[in-house]
Chain A
Amino acid sequence: MQVNEYKPLIVAFCCNWCSYAGADLAGNNRLAYPADVKIIRVPCSCRVNPMFILRAFQRGADGVIICGCHPGDCHYTSGNYYTRRRMAALFSMLDFLGIERERTRVEWVSAAEGAKFAATMNDFVEKVTALGENKRLEDLRCKK
């Protein structure tokens, strides 16, 4: 038995109308993904403030993924378009600072895409696990 097997901490922001429902569908269909993923429900992906993402990293998250409705399908018509621009800019900046680009991701998951949700989470966890612990952005001061 491996005692010290590394388990990443993944925060997933899911929009209420598509991706959170997609995650529920993955549950309904019993499509497994690692328990490392913890979902936070937001009304729309555009509610996700870059501050929340940095906060998660600062407090020890190893990866942050944002899931929203597919472009064009936003419940609020345009929210995910703003998400797309904001996150493109933010992720590019994190990369510019030398943060591993695989730690952040935006994925569009509809309410019907339970399988995609599970597959996305499996893939993301795998990628982040390969990177190991997030040292670069975490704020050690906040670690217990």
Chain B
Amino acid sequence: MQPVATTFFFYFLAGLSIVSGIAVILRKNPVHSALALIVTLLAQAGLYLMLYAPFVAGVQIILYAGGIMVLFLFVIMLVNIERSQKEEQFNKQWFAGLLAALALGGLFVFVYVKGPALFQKQTLPIPEQSNTQQIGVMLYGNYMFAFEIASLLLLVAIIGAVVMAKKRI
């Protein structure tokens, strides 16, 4: 791939994700927020592809954009959003929150920019094997236990969600 295209795509996707990220937290209508979040997620999937992580990108699209966001939209439609739109959108301590968050982000950026030595390491060569295969091998090798725990977590989450959303307890 030509470096020009890489640069262009990076700035395009990064800009897209940040702009729609801002839209997520600013829109009154939760459906619009959810849409903006979907755009962010898709842009992120593009960034993952640029980082040679195609499998995670695919997972991101299927699970996040196709699964979790549908869940969000589903719930937004179930609850009455008419009223919540008319209410005050930001809470009383919004200014303090904004300052704190900006300070945190500023700190991160400061560290990244001032401490580049940490990130000067040469990027790894693109491996011969496919990314999916490597991830599969690692997931079922080193991370077997964590993988099983994750499945248990999902089971607990399913039961929890069902119990919580049930009408009659």
- A, B co-complexed: no
Q: B residues touching A (Cβ–Cβ < 8 Å)?
A: none
